[in-house]
Amino acid sequence: PVSCGAADGDDDAPPIGKHGCDSPQSLIRSTLDRAARAMDEVDGSGSDQSPSFILITGDCLRHGVDELFSSSEDRQNSYNDSLTADGTATTAEEAMKRGGAAILRELTVIVQEYFPNTQIVFSIGNNDVVPDYYLNFLDTDSAEAVNDNAGSSAENFASSASSMSTNEESTGMLDLIYQALNADGYNTDSFANTLQTSVLKPTDQHTFLKGGYYYRSFHNGGLLILSLNTVIYSPFYESSSDDKIHDNNTNDNRPDNSDKMHDDDPRGQFTWLKIILSEARRNQSRAVIVGHISPSVGSFRHTQLWKTEYIQRYYEIVGQFNDVVMGQLFGHIHTDEFRLVDGADKRGMNDVGGNGGGGIVAVDTPILLGPSVTPLHGNDPSFRIVKYGHIISNGGSGDTQP
């Protein structure tokens, strides 16, 4: 699973890429151009129409970024030299992380070229962190303290989280992503491209650096978009990261996070989710939950994409807010699919994963799985336009927007 372009030695690659390969920039631009024209066609008027927001559900980086640094010594040294010329990275591991963040920045700049006045909501995918499925959290004790002191409001949660260390040394890849998607970050001068507007803002800093999650408010607070970090719920988050680290010899001294992998609430994200949905109910707002990996069964290997205990916890929360949650949008599997969550099926998803246990709570809103631009797994490059309606803003007006 690689780019397969001229840069990878494939001089015969078509201009916009080919099936079985990740997307070259030309394919991304072609897709964005078509998406912009499709928005003009939505209302049939032929006039320019901008979407209310753009959801990027993760995996912006090509597959196997970490493999670029282990395929050969020469290639590793080449990447290392090119990315450490300014002295900001001293190892191949640091170089590939910073290189990944730079790609996220460049992709965001390209999206803003085609949709200059539209907010982007980004969710972390497993390929957006380097190595794949790995996030380095060094402040687990302070994270637990945040949960203990969070209280019952988003404001208290953010205030409690602000006591945590938020530098690159303690937050790893999350800090690099935050700086890449923040137009005014302390490290913004290290990127070659300039964002028109920030995707991640100072108000997102503490929850994003704590666990990779945040929310956006639209229509004067009538609609909230909750962006989850779903990488931390994946079975691969625990089982593959340490093996990959040591196999690639990228860093033999990384902390072992395995004792935290079975926490009821990794990084406090479930606590935060319930707090935000509760506040949305009090304010008579609606909410859309977005993320990369869905809490469901995959269509390739037919296995659970989250660990059982996290699937159950997620639906226990979301099932309490059927009057609030109007959409659940995820990606990861590259195809255009949906999932229905029927709590009457007491087998839930446990039998599929072979983990046993009880069923799951019924959820009224189906899960929509968005297709991908990359044609890596036999799919054609795709995007989805979602139209929603009847959002009552704090100003008292309702509207229908794509």
Q: What is the pLDDT of residues 61-119, one digit of tens each?
A: 888 776 665 554 544 454 455 454 454 555 777 777 888 888 899 999 999 999 998 99
Q: Check residue 61 and give its pLDDT.
A: 83
Cα 96 to Cα 80: distance, rounded to the nearest angstrom? 8
Cα 150 to Cα 147: distance, rounded to the nearest angstrom? 5
> Beta strands 388-392 and 214-218: pairing type?
unpaired
Instruction: Name the band, by pLDDT with cuts 50, 70 and 90, for residue 3.
Output: low
Q: Check residue 170 and give its pLDDT.
A: 52
Cα 313 to Cα 93: distance, rounded to the nearest angstrom? 34
The average confidence (pLDDT) of the chain is: 75
Pick from 55-59, 80-84, 120-124: least confident: 80-84
When mean pLDDT is compared over 167-176, 344-353, 384-393, the highest value belongs to 384-393
Tell me the pTM.
Answer: 0.78
In 212-312 the beta strands, taken as DSSP E runs, fall at 214-218, 223-227, 286-290
Alpha helices in 85-211 (DSSP H): 92-114, 140-149, 154-161, 168-171, 173-180, 205-211
Cα 210 to Cα 164: distance, rounded to the nearest angstrom? 8
At residue 294's C-alpha, the angle toward residues 289 and 299, to 5°, is: 145
Judge if the upstream peptide bond of residue 131 is cis by omega within 30 degrees of 0: yes
Q: How far is CA 98 from CA 64, 79, 82, 176, 200, in A?
A: 15, 11, 11, 7, 17
Pick from 154-158, 274-278, 379-383: least confident: 154-158
Pick from 61-70, 308-317, 378-387: least confident: 61-70
3-state secondary structure of 255: coil
Cα 236 to Cα 231: distance, rounded to the nearest angstrom? 8
Beta bridge partners of 290: 227, 329
Axis-axis angle for helices 308-318, 269-282 (nearest 10): 10
3-state secondary structure of 246: helix
* Region 304-325 average pLDDT: 91
Cα 25 to Cα 28: distance, rounded to the nearest angstrom? 5
Whether the Cβ atoms of residue 132 and residue 240 lie closer than 8 Å to each other: yes
Which own/partner pairs from 389-396 qualify as long-range (CB within 8 Å, at least 24 positions apart)? 391/218, 391/219, 391/222, 391/223, 391/286, 392/222, 392/284, 393/219, 393/220, 393/221, 393/222, 394/220, 394/221, 394/222, 394/283, 395/220
Q: Check residue 400 and give its pLDDT.
A: 47
Whether the Cβ atoms of residue 257 and residue 320 lie closer than 8 Å to each other: no
* Region 279-288 average pLDDT: 95
Residue 130 has pLDDT above 60, yes or no: yes
The two counts, helices (H) then strands (E), for the chain are 13, 10
For the beta carbon of residue 26, count every other beta carbon within 10 angstroms.
13
